[in-house]
Amino acid sequence: MDRLKGKVALITGAARGLGRQIAQRFTEEGARVIINDLDLDRAEAAAQPLQGLAVAGDVSSSADVEAMFRIVGDYTDRLDILVNNAGIGGTDDEQAAERRRENAEAIARGEVVHNDSTMEMTDEAWDRMLGVHLRGTFLCTRAALKIMTRDEGGSIINMGSIMGTYGKPGGTAYCAAKAGILGFSRALAHEMATRKIRVNSIAPGFIDTDMTAPLVEMKPWIETQTPLATFGEPDDIAWAAVYLASDEAKFMTGQVISPNGGWYMSQ
Ligand SMILES: NC(=O)c1ccc[n+]([C@@H]2O[C@H](COP(=O)([O-])OP(=O)(O)OC[C@H]3O[C@@H](n4cnc5c(N)ncnc54)[C@H](O)[C@@H]3O)[C@@H](O)[C@H]2O)c1
């Protein structure tokens, strides 16, 4: 309790999933939370029980982020923590689900399976993936730094993934976006060190949320590949975020914490 007492935290994409759980734990630890998501009603539904502020906006849009930070600026003159969490999986459309089913059947028959998703990817799908994750992280960080640098200190936490260092077939855009976030975080950590603003990433493994729900057919296989033999739960990420946001992590910057059940061991 009270590990974040008196701090103000903005968490993007926090109407559900990992962001929602991070907001919950931050509140319990004494922070005031600002919850962003695409849709105001969903953001408000998450913010209300936490007595937080809801701000709607697409993090990949400059105009939305500007508008969002105007509201944040009216609400608070300080920002101690930013969690760039908003993200999309690119796994939830029917075409991707159909491909996964066909591939699973072909693998079971012992056939070689080609993955043509990069050949078939549209410009729009590539731009959207990079836009939400990488551009969104940049836009929110740039705006947040203008508030954070008024005081000495702060913590920025960027949501990476094990896919930022592991190459998943069918995931070139997602992996590129998450790898970009890790690089962005390291450079920014160096840049902000003189201002005592720490910048770190979390690289989750497979966690049970709406984003991973479409992976239902692959789940048993993923669990057999995981030394701890299970998907993680949102709290496995939320507690890592509490640590990085708190003063307990005062010597941590430019680092990646990867709660992943041992699925991937070389972050
Ligand atoms: N769940 C996992 O296994 C897992 C693993 C590694 C990394 N991650 C990353 O963690 C983050 C959260 O994932 P999750 O599992 O909670 O996903 P989720 O789909 O449950 O929640 C993501 C939230 O982000 C919001 N969002 C999407 N695009 C947005 C945008 N442009 N602007 C603002 N909000 C937007 C969605 O509306 C949603 O509420 C993502 O960055 C994801 O890539 C998740």
Which atom from ligand 1 is nearest to the alpha carbon of 86?
24
**Crossing angle between the packed helical segments 62-75 and 136-148, to the nearest 10 degrees:** 30
The rounded radius of gyration (Å) of the Cα atoms in the chain is 18
C-alpha 106 – ligand 1 centre gap (Å):
30
Structural domain contains residue 1: no
Distance of alpha carbon 53 from alpha carbon 50, whole angstroms: 9
C-alpha 160 – ligand 1 centre gap (Å):
11
pTM of the model: 0.96
State the residue range of the domain holding 235: 8-257
Structural domain contains residue 264: no
- Answer yes or no: is the C-beta of 12 below 6 A from any ligand 1 atom: yes
- Answer yes or no: is the C-beta of 87 below 6 A from any ligand 1 atom: yes
The CATH number of the domain where 220 resides is what? 3.40.50.720
- Answer yes or no: is the C-beta of 13 below 6 A from any ligand 1 atom: yes
Which atom from ligand 1 is nearest to the alpha carbon of 174?
43
Whether residue 174 lies in the annotated active site: yes
- Answer yes or no: is the C-beta of 238 below 6 A from any ligand 1 atom: no
b/e sequence 3-33, b meaning 16+ C-beta within 10 Å: bbeebbbbbbbbbbbbbbbbbbbbbebebbb
Cα distances from 174 to residues 24, 85, 87, 122, 178, in angstroms, run 27, 14, 10, 14, 6
Which atom from ligand 1 is nearest to the alpha carbon of 19?
16
How many CA atoms, within 13 angstroms, populate the side-chain half-sphere of residue 77? 2
Q: Which of 202, 184, 176 is nearest to 25 (CA)?
A: 202
- Asked if 101 and 217 count as a contact pair (C-beta separation under 8 A), the reply is yes
Q: Which of 9, 11, 267, 250 is nearest to 137 (CA)?
A: 11
Q: Could you tell which of 88, 157, 223, 230 is best to mutate to test the pocket of ligand 1, judged by most ligand atoms within 8 Å of the CB?
A: 88
- What residue's CA is closest to ligand 1, atom 43? 87
Structural domain contains residue 168: yes
- Answer yes or no: is the C-beta of 85 below 6 A from any ligand 1 atom: yes
Structural domain contains residue 89: yes
- Phi, psi values for residue 40, rounded to 5°: -65, -40
Predicted pLDDT at 106: 84
pLDDT in tens, the chain (267 residues): 899 999 999 999 999 999 999 999 999 999 999 999 999 999 999 999 999 999 999 999 999 999 999 999 999 999 999 999 999 997 667 777 787 778 778 888 999 988 888 999 999 999 999 999 999 999 999 999 999 999 879 999 999 999 999 988 889 999 999 999 999 999 999 999 999 999 999 999 999 999 999 999 889 999 999 999 999 999 999 999 999 999 999 999 999 999 999 999 975
Structural domain contains residue 231: yes
Q: How many domains does the chain have?
A: 1
- Answer yes or no: is the C-beta of 88 below 6 A from any ligand 1 atom: yes
- Answer yes or no: is the C-beta of 83 below 6 A from any ligand 1 atom: no
Q: Which of 184, 203, 175 is nearest to 91 (CA)?
A: 175
- Asked if 35 and 11 count as a contact pair (C-beta separation under 8 A), the reply is yes
Give the Cα-Cα-Cα angle 3, 8, 184 (nearest 5 degrees): 95
Q: What is the largest distance, in Å, between two alpha-carbon atoms of the chain? A: 61
Predicted pLDDT at 107: 80
**Which residues partner with 33 through β-bridges?**
9
Structural domain contains residue 3: no
Structural domain contains residue 99: yes
